[in-house]
């Protein structure tokens, strides 16, 4: 297996992106899978590296990356040394990042005869599930979509009208990261950007017009994103497949850091469902 680790994609007028690519130099026609982490996530979280290896060993070229404003830096991509960037993140920036990642992937592998750049699937976890779904609905380069513990609505997560008004008056609100204990800022621009782009960011509309196969996977014990959200996604796209992983939590019974050399049984199940779907 070949792992190209921490590739830096420089961009004009935008923050750079940090990327890992997992593939083999022997398998022919490896389809591309691009993985998008979720809220307060990063590409090196928990067991995602083991997931990447499992996909690569099954004949896929697996790409994972950090969203540009996820709070990591090029030198320190794990956790959140750049809280200012985190506070200035929004959904349209993430869609823009993903667009640049797809284009980068096509260019990076265009002269590699073993990588099939015409077959690009997206996998999104949690908030990343919403981002990949929106992207899949608007980008003809995406051929298949997998939603892991995905959200079904961005708008409801901003809170009540009074909470939004208080946020507007202060200009910032803070969320405590339970693991790192950091006070993580969200500047009011996040909500403003959402309102300006509300039609584009409407997951239900996008789900109803998805032109490609979709697999929806959710844990039965997910306390972060309720299983009803997976059922909504499936209802909006009846052609999709819905798989419930019994006993699985929001991160499929892994954690950060993940010090084992093997996957949780629940994440193994996720990967098996995903590979069967993609093949």
User: pLDDT per position in the chain (279 positions), as tens?
Assistant: 999 999 999 999 999 999 999 999 999 999 999 999 999 999 999 999 999 999 999 999 999 999 999 999 999 999 999 999 999 999 999 999 999 999 999 999 999 999 999 999 999 999 999 999 999 999 999 999 999 999 999 999 999 999 999 999 999 999 999 999 999 999 999 999 999 999 999 999 999 999 999 999 999 999 999 999 999 999 999 999 999 999 999 999 999 999 999 999 999 999 999 999 999
pTM comes to 0.98
Is residue 43 included in any domain, yes or no? Answer: yes
CA distance linking residue 250 with residue 226, whole number of Å: 9
Residue 98 lies in a domain: yes
Structure tokens at 240: 């999709």
Q: Which of 177, 170, 188, 7 is nearest to 83 (CA)?
A: 177
Q: Containing H/E element for 76?
A: none
67 CB neighbour count, 10 Å cutoff: 29
Q: Is the dihedral of CA 259, 265, 270, 275 positive or negative?
A: positive
Residue span of the structural domain in which 29 resides: 2-155+203-278
Q: Is residue 175 one of the residues assigned to a domain?
A: no
CA-derived radius of gyration, the chain: 18
Cross-strand bridge partners of residue 20: 64
Strands 14-23 and 142-148: unpaired
Write the CATH number for 77: 3.40.50.1820
Beta partners for residue 146, in sequence order:
123, 215
Question: Is 181 domain-assigned?
Answer: no
At residue 206, what are phi and psi to the nearest 5 degrees?
-65, -45
pLDDT given at position 10: 98
- Joined tokens for residue 164: 């939004």
Q: Which contacts of 173-181 are long-range, i.e. CB under 8 A and separated by 24 or more positions?
A: 177/40, 177/80, 179/256, 180/79, 180/80
264 close to 271: Cβ distance less than 8 angstroms: no
Note whether residue 145 is domain-resident.
yes
* Whole-number pLDDT of residue 8: 98
- What is the number of alpha carbons within 13 Å of residue 36 lying toward its C-beta? 35
End-to-end CA distance of the chain: 20
Q: CB–CB of 263/272 below 8 Å?
A: no
Would residue 82 count as lying in a domain?
yes
Other beta carbons less than 10 A from residue 205's beta carbon: 13
Q: What is the per-residue pLDDT for 80?
A: 97
- Collapsed DSSP state (helix, strand, coil) of residue 201: coil
User: Is 163 inside a domain boundary?
Assistant: no
Copy the structure tokens of residue 208. Answer: 């109803």
Which residue has tokens 């892994």?
254
Domain count, the chain: 1
Q: 93 in a domain, yes or no?
A: yes
């Amino acid at each position: 297996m070949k792992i190209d680790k921490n590739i830096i994609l420089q961009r004009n007028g935008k923050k750079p992106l940090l990327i890992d690519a997992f593939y083999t130099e022997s398998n022919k026609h490896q389809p591309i899978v691009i993985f998008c982490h979720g809220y307060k996530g990063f590409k090196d979280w928990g067991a995602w590296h083991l997931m990447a290896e499992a996909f690569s060993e099954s004949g896929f070229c697996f790409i994972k990356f950090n969203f540009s404003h996820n709070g990591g830096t090029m030198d320190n991509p794990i956790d959140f040394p750049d809280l200012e960037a985190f506070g200035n993140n929004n959904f349209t920036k993430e869609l823009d990042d993903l667009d640049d990642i797809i284009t980068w992937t096509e260019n990076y592998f265009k002269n590699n005869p073993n990588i099939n750049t015409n077959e690009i699937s997206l996998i999104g976890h949690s908030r990343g599930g919403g981002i990949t779904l929106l992207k899949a609905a608007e980008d003809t380069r995406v051929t298949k979509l997998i939603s892991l513990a995905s959200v079904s609505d961005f708008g409801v997560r901003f809170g009540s009208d009074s909470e939004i008004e208080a946020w507007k008056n202060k200009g910032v609100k803070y969320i405590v990261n339970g693991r790192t204990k950091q006070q993580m800022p969200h500047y009011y621009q996040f909500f403003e950007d959402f309102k300006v782009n509300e039609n584009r960011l409407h997951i239900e509309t996008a789900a109803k017009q998805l032109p490609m196969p979709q697999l929806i996977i959710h844990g039965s014990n997910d306390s972060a994103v309720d299983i009803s959200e997976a059922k909504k996604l499936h209802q909006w796209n009846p052609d999709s497949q819905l798989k419930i992983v019994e006993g699985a939590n929001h991160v499929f019974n892994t954690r950060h850091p993940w010090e084992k050399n093997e996957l949780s049984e629940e994440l193994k199940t996720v990967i098996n469902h995903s590979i069967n779907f993609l093949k």
